[in-house]
Each structure stands twice: as C-alpha cells, then as structure tokens.
Structure 1
Amino acid sequence: MTRRLPIAALVAVGVMAFAACGGDGDAADAPAPTAGDTPAAAGEQQTGAYRLARVRAGLGDALYVTGAPGQADRLFVVQQSGRIRILERGRLLPGSFLDISGRISSGGERGLLGLAFHPDYARNGRFYVNYTEPSGDTRVAEYRRATATRARPSSGRILLRIDQPFANHNGGHLAFGPDGMLHVATGDGGSGGDPEGNGQDRSSLLGKILRIDVDARTGGRPYGIPADNPFAGGGGAPEVYAYGLRNPWRFSFDRTRGDIWIGDVGQNAIEEIDYRPRGRANGANFGWNAFEGRSRFPGGGPVRGSAPVAPVAQYTHSAGCSVTGGYVYRGARAAGLRGRYVYADFCTGRVWSMRAGPRPGGVRDETGRLGVSLSNVTSFGEGLNGDLYVLANGSLYRFVGR
C-alpha cells in the first residue's frame, strides 16, 4: 500500500484514504520543491468576491455529488460505502436512490467511487456507477430509474470488468463528454511507482481515460467502441482514449468549451493538473510513469507511443499531498470564479484556480477567500445550472457571491 495519511485524518473522513494516495515512501523522502512550481507562486489579482456556503453537514463518507438531467432541484450524493442519497433543496431525503452496499468492497481506496447520468436520463432513466466488487476488482455498471427518487436495484448490468492487481489506485470517476460518450478514469493498478508499467502500456485498461459508447454494442461487448478512439483499429486496447495517468482523482469537461481537465495524484513529489482542448485528448499520453509532473520519475519506464503532454499546473508536497481535480466554473453565483478551473489539495484544504480557455494559466491561491477552513477535500461537483460544490470532511459547500 502507499503512503498513508495520519490516523486523525482518516478518522475525519471515514475510510477515504484513496484521495490521498501519494506514494510508497514518506513525504520527507521526496525531492526538494523547485522554486516557482507551486500554484501559490504564480500570483494573480482577485477579480471578484465569493465565499463558500454550507449546504449540508453530516454526509459521512460522501465522496461525490452531481445533478441529474431533468431534476434541477436535486443533487445526488455518492457514498463510498455503497449508497446514493438525494439532496432536495438542501434536505436529505429518507432512504437511498440506490443501495449496492452488499455488492461492493469498501475501505481504503475501494468502494462506490463514481456516478454519471446518461445525457438523456430524463427520458431513458439510465445511469452508470463505478465500484470495486468484493474481490477488489473494478466494475462499471448501468442501472435504471424506477421513480424520480428510486432506482431499480435489479436493473444492474455490468459493462466493464477490470482486474486490479493491488488495492489502491482505482481511479473511479465517470463522466459523459460533449460527444455523448462515457469516459472512465482508471488508476495504474496500485502499489508504488507503477510496477507493472500499466500507465505506458496502451494494451492495458489501467492508468487511462477510457471512452465507450453506452448506446451501441461492438464485437460482442455490452458497449460500443467509438470509431475515432485512437486504438479502435489496433495498437492498443480499443477502449483507451488517453493514457499515462497514475491515479486520476476527478476529471471534468468544461460545459462551455468541452475541454477536459484531469487531477492526477502524484507519487512522492508532484501533484498535477492535465488539460487538453476539446477532441485533442484522443491518444494523449500524460507521461506516467516515465514522468511525474514535468520531471522524469526516478526508476520510471520509457515513454511509449506519443510524446508526453506536460501538465498545465503542478505543485510539490510543500503545498499539499494529493490533488483533487475540479471544474471550470460556469455558474452565476460566484462572479470572481467565472471561466476559471478550480481544484484543491485533499490534505491541506488549499484551493487554487487557473484561467481556462485556449491557453490556461494565471494560477492563484483562493484559500483565503473561502470564508471557511477546509481539510480532507474529497471532491468537487457541478449542478445542472453550473453551481460548483465541494465536499470536505463530510460537509457539502457551494461557491456563492458575497
């Protein structure tokens, strides 16, 4: 297993150690920080005022929140232990939308890790979850809605089965892209340093962003392979869309531009944010384990295939220990964040943002403007109207104006 958080931090978030899986050595053994490579060094003037308003406390092991098409007043809260709950205007509805706690393994970096609603969910009632089964292997499954507030547990249909050689680095995030395809984040399989070389192995489903068509079937699979996937015709696993990732903990698509942003958790030294414009992540190599951030990873393997794409932002373990990827803010409540990608560090609770667009940049430290002190930042989430949420220590907050 990799470097652990202090017990106090683990207790504060239940069993969500996965978010801080930073390496197999102590942070003290990491290379010394390089001046100027932490987000705080970039500095930029604040252009608007905002704060965090608490929406709900007491959410326990919640690790993701999202909206569902056609249900503007509701948020769906994913709990690592296997339940999906509904928040309606800040009120937690009784019972569960879905409870698969009896079908999963939960603890450490395992559990119910991701949720995505079909773009046409309002009509077809289909949604997708990513979880680790009792053996520890990854499953991506489709479920169907029974009523507006209840899913049909018996409707489960497994789409993807991915063997996991170790207990950590499961990734787990799911999101539909602007192309209507389901994207699946997978970690490199675990342990430390990617001992099996999965990140650069294009035939492996580990250490990747996968891309599948849930509305089609190809070659006996319960899903389709998009014809423009980089290895649809050979040279790698046909599901692979982008590779060279260690443990992507939350990726997102800019709802205005369609660009992809990825928070990739580092080993012992560097946390990174990866970015590609819309459509240009196809076949992208983000470098792991040949690179950690913009630096060669000691003991890493060779680069396979295309030249690595350098991260657009990175920080060393002098500023935190585990990145939590976020979203480009396109909402109306917090004017100072419009058009900026917001992300955070799990351990320190520091929050940064950077300018989105054709040339992302202008990183600034947002921590002092939040109005609350955060720690154990498990995830960001986005509402249907563009509202931006953050989960920390079992509480859900929303970015709002002053």
Structure 2
Amino acid sequence: MLKKVKVSLRPIVGKINLPTVLKTAILPGDSMERLFIATQVGEIFYIKNGVIRTFLDIRPRIIKLGFSGGRYDERGLLGLAFHPGFYYNGLFYLHYSVAGTQGPGALPSSEVSRQGLPEFFKPNPCDPRTLNLKWVNREIQYDHIDTVEEWILQSNGQPQKRRTLLNLRRPFFNHNGVNSLNFSPETGKLVLTTGDGGSGYDPFNSSQDDMEIAGKIIEIDVAKNTFINNPPVVTRFNELPAPIQETLTVIAKGVRNIPGISFQRFYNQYIKYVGIVGQDLVESIFSFVHYKSIPVPQLIQASLMKSEPDQEGFINFGWRGWEGAFPTSIIRGCSGNPTLDEKTIAYYNDAVKTSVQRLQPLTSYLHKDPRPGKFGGTALTGVQSYMGNGIPDLTGSVVFTDFARDEESQPPNRGVLAYTRVRPDCKLSDFSVIETDYNFGSQSAYYASLGTNLDQTRLYLGVYGSMNVTDLNQGTIFEIVP
C-alpha cells in the first residue's frame, strides 16, 4: 500500500504565461543553481535572489498560438535543455513551433473525406479505409514546422543561436511533446521526445512506422558537427542528409504524446521514466533500465532492404494498438445509462501485432475511476523522480501531475499531484494522490508542468488559471515542500 502523503505548495513567482518547462542550471560565473521557467509563448526566465529575470525572449520566433479560432494549443516553446557542460560552454537547446509556418493541416487519403480530417479523428473499425490512412502531399498539407536549435550564452551575457539540429514538419497542431528536450546522464546525448503528430488515434500510424520521426524517442549526438546549419524540413528519417542521420539514434517507438523523460540514478545505472498521454481511456507511466537503441542509418538500411531491423531490446510503448495497459478503444456513450459506456477495440490488428513487443506500463490511471482514493484524469503533464529527503514518504518515488481532475461537477477545475513506485516484482504499480493544502479560491488551477533541480531533491509545479494559451499571465510556479 502506498502511504497517504500531504504536501504544501510554496509560491515562487506569479502572473506569468503558461509554463512548459521548469528546470535548474548554474549560469556561467554563478555559484548557485537557478530555477529556469520556459513559457509556451516563448519567454525563458530565471529566478535570482527572489527576483524574476529574463534569460531569453523568442516570442517573435514562435508561431501564432490559438489555432483556428480555438484558444487551446499544444504548440509554442516546448523544450529547453542545458548542456551538461553549460557552466563552461554556455550551450543550451530549444524546441519550438516556428513563426510563419502555419499550414492548412494534413488531409487523409481522398476517398475517406474531401474536407480533411476532423480536428480529432476517430477510426471506425467497420470501415477499413479509416484504419489505413496515409499522409499525402506532405509538402503542402501540414499544420506547422517545429525546430530544434543549439544556442550559446555568449561571454557578454547575450544568448545567440548557433545552429539548427532538426526541422520537423508536423501534420496537426497537437502532440508535439512538452518538456521535450533533456540530456541523458548515461550517454551525454540530447534526448528529443515528441508525439505522434496529433489529431486523435494516430491516423497515419506514425508511432509504429520506423521511418517516421513522429512518435519516437530520439537521441541526438550534439558533439558531432554536421556542418549543415539549415537542415531541410522533413517528416521521415530517410529524408535527412546523411551527416544528420549519423547523429541520431532511436531509443523507443509507440509514443502517443509525452511530457518528457526523467532519469533516476539507482546504484550504477539509471531508471528511465516516461509518461505517455492517453486517448480516451487511460494515462500511463512506463519505466525501463536496459534498452537497445538503433542508429538511424541502420533503421534506414533495414527499410531499404524491406527487412525488419533487429528489435530485440528496442523499447515499444505499444501505441496505437495499445493505450497503456489496455487495447486502444473508442468509447460510445450508452444512451440508457451513461455510466456503462461501451468500449470497442479501435485497432484490433495493431493490438495483436504489438502485443508481445510492447513494454508494459509501470502504472496507469483512468479517465473514469469510481474507486475511493482515485481520480479521473484528463492528461498527464509531468513525470519526475524525487530523490530528496525533505518529503520522506516520497523519497525514491516517481511524482506525476495531471492537467485537471475529470469532475462531473462544476468548475473551478483543479490539477492533480500523485505518485507511484517501481515494484520489485515488476507488476503494475498502484498510485496514490498527493494532497496539497493550497487554496486556489474560485480560480481554476490546471497543473501544466512539473520540474526538479539537478539532483532531484526539489520539485517545482507550474499551475495555470486557464486552459487557453491566449489567456495571458495566469501562471504561478510553486515549490512542492513538506
């Protein structure tokens, strides 16, 4: 049984834009770690002596947020990572959606519909055409372009862009990942975690296609210089120039959408924790220690030979056939009794195909869960291991956040903080809600991001007062304290 844990939230800074990344770094010439906050609209702040200071403002470089009249958006400044040698070399990395790249969005194959996919696609198991959609005319039918860049903090204190590592064309506005750049303490490489490209139910099955960059966890060797400063805009690994292919390895596939990766030191190795955002049924957290990564040139070679690369030990999270511990389902309401929603397997063949290859989740939590002490989730927004002693009941555990509790009742909406632990018998772990004592009053409080300091002894929570990125300055950053 997991203990009931209570914590306090201590506000650090308020009235900022929607926070996407919270992490600490030691600035060159400084003596202490500072908390850095990246916002979806394109600002990066840090806190020094209790004062918020601007590190970088790239708002003009960010795509206009609030798509097609709606105000909820999953694009913007999504990733920030500091090089392990940042203190000495000033290098840091950004992932964001580029200004001026708004496209019309992806169209499915023409026989299904000429109007394009609805904003959120659902397959129809009775109509095979909806199960095998292809993304065609990608050069013109796309939503936006994401970029991954290397920047340097110059000796005069001004950050400057050095080079672009990747330019990715994305089919839809959603599932671009968040907190999407992190350095692996094992390999020293930059880890890029993005989603399957969006809409719903991964209409093009990008997450399982070895050539698609979408739906993978990718390591980038930033020590290799490709001497290509402006790489082409691509969607598939085989469209990349060879020098860029040689900097990339793939750790995992079968990703729907992902709020980053967390590395927890365990004796002389690291446990990796990955949260996968669910579709209509369940949110999941996975953990693994050993894995076999596949260099991109090897993947491309296998694709050319029409052979399967050796995927023994290659991590597969199972999407789109599996949603965490369940075969991916479409849900139809029962008119007679709403509590008895009918669940139909969406992609039976995909579920069969990946059933033995996939990794089982560490824990899953449902969108509807009547059990006492549980909650209905909406979307996983952060997963971090906690190694501090300040909150002893959480030491060694994995803390996670959900955007908003799925309450049938009226607003204000509230996010959820919870935790789980790895079980020695490798069975599916339980999870427990962490109670907080902070009073948000009548204001909504969506839990948008979770971060830690360098040695994972402190936890930071980013809260927003609205789910719309176009509602500005409604963010508060808290430290989670005993």
Alignment partner of 1:377 is 2:447: yes
Q: 2:12, 2:209 → 1: CA distance?
A: 42
* Equivalent residues of 2:361, 2:428 under 8 A apart: no
Matches within 5 A, 1:322-333: 322-333=379-390
Task: Determine the structure 1 residue equivalent to 2:361.
Answer: 311
Q: CA RMSD for the aligned pairs?
A: 2.9
1:204 maps onto 2:204 in alignment: no
Q: Relative to structure 1, is the Cα distance of residues 304 and 220 closer, same or farther in structure 2, using a 3 angstrom cutoff?
A: farther
Is 1:296–2:357 an aligned residue pair? no
Matched, 1:367 2:434: yes
1:20-53 Cα shifts (integer Å, max 9, x gaps) = xxxxxxxxxxxxxxxxxxxxxxx5224x764222
CA distance in 2, matches of 1:184, 1:336: 31
* Contact residue 352 and residue 366 of structure 1 kept, 8 A: yes
Partner in structure 1 of residue 409 of structure 2: none
- Which of 395, 398, 409 is matched with 1:338 structurally? 395
Structure 1 residues 156, 61: CA separation in 2 closer, same or farther (over 3 Å shift)? farther
Query: What is the match of residue 282 of structure 2?
Result: 270
Size of the aligned set, in residue pairs, is 344
Alpha-carbon contact 1:354-1:360 (below 8 Å) kept: no
* Counterpart residue number, 1:261: 273
Question: For residue 315 of structure 2, what is the aligned residue in structure 1?
Answer: 284
Q: 1:130 to 1:335 in 2, by over 3 A?
A: same
Q: 1:131 to 1:337 in 2, by over 3 A?
A: same
Look up the match of 1:392: 463
The alpha carbon displacement at 1:146 in A equals: 2.2
Kindly name which structure, 1 or 2, has the bigger radius of gyration based on alpha carbons: 2
Query: Which amino acid is the alignment partner of residue 176 of structure 1?
Result: F
Distance 2:428 2:26 in 1: 31
Partner amino acid for 1:299? A
The whole-number CA distance in structure 2 between the counterparts of 1:157 and 1:333 is: 41
- Counterpart in 2 of 1:105? 63
**Displacement after TM superposition at 1:324 (Å):** 1.7
In 2: Cα distance, 1:263 partner to 1:174 partner = 14
For 1:123, the equivalent position in structure 2 comes to: 88
- Counterpart residue number, 1:354: 420
Instruction: After TM superposition, give the deviation of residue 187 of structure 1 in Å.
Output: 0.7
Q: Which residue of 2 aligns with 1:17?
A: none
Task: Please give the per-residue CA displacement for 1:232-255, whole angstroms capped at 9, x wherever unaligned.
Answer: 9xxxx9532200010112321114
Q: Is residue 54 of structure 1 aligned with residue 11 of structure 2?
A: yes
Q: Which residue does 2:159 correspond to in 1?
A: 152
1:167 equivalenced with 2:173 (yes/no): yes
In the TM superposition, what are the counterparts of 1:14-53 in structure 2 within 5 Å?
A: 43-46=1-4, 50-53=7-10
SS of residue paired to 2:88: helix
Q: Quick one: which of 177, 189, 196 aligns to 1:181?
A: 189
The 3 A distance-change label for structure 1 pair 99 and 290 is same
Instruction: Give the Å deviation of 1:299.
Output: 2.8
Please tell me the residue identity of whatever aligns with 1:84.
I
Q: Secondary structure at the match of 1:102?
A: helix
**Could you say if the C-alpha distance between residues 65 and 222 of structure 1 is closer, same or farther in structure 2, counting changes exceeding 3 Å?**
same
Q: Shift of the alpha carbon at 1:151?
A: 3.8
Give the whole-Å Cα distance in 1 for the aligned partners of 2:280 and 2:26. 39
**Structure 1 residues 375, 49: CA separation in 2 closer, same or farther (over 3 Å shift)?**
closer
Q: Is the 8 A contact 1:354 1:361 kept in 2?
A: no
Gaps of 5+ in 1: 1-42, 224-231
Residue 98 of structure 1 deviates from its aligned partner by 1.4
Secondary structure in structure 1 of the residue aligned to 2:316: coil
The secondary structure found in structure 2 opposite 1:168 is coil
Separation of aligned partners in 2, 1:98 and 1:241: 31
Structure 2 residues without counterparts, runs of 5 or longer: 66-72, 102-143, 232-241, 294-312, 329-344, 369-375, 406-414, 465-474
- Structure 2 counterpart of 1:249, from 251, 259, 262: 259
- Structure 2 SS opposite 1:259: strand
Output the amino acid matched with 2:434: T
Q: Deviations over 1:305-364 (max 9, x none)?
A: 970111111111121110123211012422221100000210121221112476486534
Q: Residue type of the partner of 2:81?
A: A
Q: Which moved more, 1:155-164 or 1:281-290?
A: 281-290
Shift of 1:388: 1.0
CA distance in 2, matches of 1:290, 1:363: 23
Q: 2:249 aligns with which of 225, 239, 258?
A: 239
